[in-house]
Amino acid sequence: MIIRRISGILSNFTNLSRVYAILVIIVVLAGIAGIPSLDYKGDRLYPKTIDRNSPLDPYDRGGIPFESTGILAEYPGNSPYLGYITAYLTPLSLALASATPHMGTTIVAHPGGIIDEILYATRGLDTVVETTILFVGFAVAAYLFRRREDE
Amino acid sequence: MFDLNIEGAELFALPFGDIVPYFSIYSATLAAFVLIFILISAFDHPERQLNIIFGGDAYYEKEIKEDDTRFSRFMAIACGFATLGAVLTGDIFNFTLFAVLVGITNIAIVASAGNRHVLNAAFQYGIVAMIATVPLFGAAAIILATTGTLSIWTLAGMGAVPLLAKALLILGVMGEGIAPLYIGKAEIIRAQGAPFVLMIHFSSLLLFLRVTEIVLVI
């Protein structure tokens, strides 16, 4: 009986990851075959333009600090102060940006810059949940490591 | 969105930037259950198991100190709040993030049992939960690329989301919510810290209910 064989395979939990991987492969292969039928929507909500000549490249968003910057939002009514601090630089980074052409690279090269990229797309809660996942991962690893010590 | 059959009437929506959490009758019911289970795992005492000695009428009670369950209690509460987020959020990418958070806290709850057999099951589940992030975030990426938005409000009733994205979303939630299968197989119910294992079943059940709602709505 085929049902008996299937339940025999599923009864060993080391097989479950294999079964799941096969399911993923089937769906992904079918998906690759179906990709030409998907149409890419260019006018998406979170656009990004890059000015290669700016010292803040690829970080330059334009706009004036504490005034509205041209950022799109899904519901503009929900965030009236959107983009107010997008263009803000501290005096030190302003001096660096005017002295060297590498300020944008410096910003993007550290984790805060990456988080800021996400914040730029007006989606603050994403950043919070992502770092929460990271911290929970650290908590689990620390717990397991310390428990092995006191045994 | 609230004219669709599955949602029911709108009760409350929180205008939180681009992510608008909402309570319809459906999600409010789910949220109420989540709150009840968060309270249960916050105030429950660990289960005391009895070991019976065969051949005699002696038995002894296993002693479980409060300190031993602190980690699993914390992770059960964290899992509850992650489930609450997944149930209430009005944004597909946030839903996938909360699903991943549920998965990782589930691993933590299982891993806090000291038994080697149980830890082995937790490791196997971790592999599946890790693979599952690919279809989950892949679904969110495909939805954003083909429709230009991630908001459930905007997508509701449009039917613009391709079947592939829906299939990947369901597959991803399947991977994150597969934990009860491992629990049943590894008999974690009988391991130490038993009441907190409840949260694993509960969170994956709610993830499935929520993803059903999302797939039917978008």
Digit-coded pLDDT (tens) for B158-171: 888 899 999 999 99
> Which positions in chain B touch A123 (Cβ < 8 Å)?
17-19, 91, 93
Note the pLDDT of residue A62: 72
B2 located within any domain: no
Kindly list the distances between the CA atom of residue B186 and the CA atoms of A11, A12, B95, B122, B191, in Å, as whole numbers in the listed order.
10, 10, 29, 9, 9
B159 located within any domain: yes
Tokens for B85, please give them: 């987020």
pLDDT greater than 80 at residue A116: no
Contact between B90 and B137 under an 8 Å Cβ cutoff? The reply is no
pLDDT greater than 90 at residue A65: no
Interface check for A75 against chain B (CB to CB < 8 A): the answer is: yes
**Would the CB atoms of B98 and A129 count as touching at under 8 Å?**
yes
Confidence band of A80 (pLDDT split at 50, 70, 90): confident
SS3 B7: coil
Radius of gyration over every alpha carbon of chain B, rounded to an integer in angstroms: 19
- Would you list the DSSP string of B175-217? HHTTHHHHHHHHTGGGSSSHHHHHHHHHHHHHHHHHHHHHHHH
Note the pLDDT of residue B132: 92
pLDDT greater than 60 at residue A74: yes
> Which positions in chain B touch A127 (Cβ < 8 Å)?
none
The Cα of A18 is separated from the nearest Cα of chain B by a number of Å equal to 9
Note the pLDDT of residue A115: 63
Tokens for B127, please give them: 């592999």
Contact between B108 and B71 under an 8 Å Cβ cutoff? The reply is yes
The Cα of A95 is separated from the nearest Cα of chain B by a number of Å equal to 33
End-to-end CA, chain A: 47
B52 located within any domain: yes
Give the span between the Cα atoms of A62 and A54, in whole angstroms: 10
Residues lower than pLDDT 50 in chain B = none
Q: For chain B, what is the mean pLDDT?
A: 85
Residue B164, amino acid: L
Note the pLDDT of residue B33: 94
What is the count of structural domains for chain B? 1
Digit-coded pLDDT (tens) for B108-127: 888 777 677 778 888 888 89
Note the pLDDT of residue A130: 86
The Cα of B82 is separated from the nearest Cα of chain A by a number of Å equal to 9
B5 located within any domain: no
Rounded to 5 degrees, φ, ψ at B195 are -65, -25
Radius of gyration over every alpha carbon of chain A, rounded to an integer in angstroms: 24
Which of B1, B14, B16, B18 to mutate to probe the A interface, most A CBs <10 Å?
Answer: B18
Digit-coded pLDDT (tens) for B36-66: 999 988 888 777 777 788 887 888 777 777 7
Give the span between the Cα atoms of B106 and A96, in whole angstroms: 46
End-to-end CA, chain B: 9
Which of B77, B153, B164, B204 to mutate to probe the A interface, most A CBs <10 Å?
Answer: B164
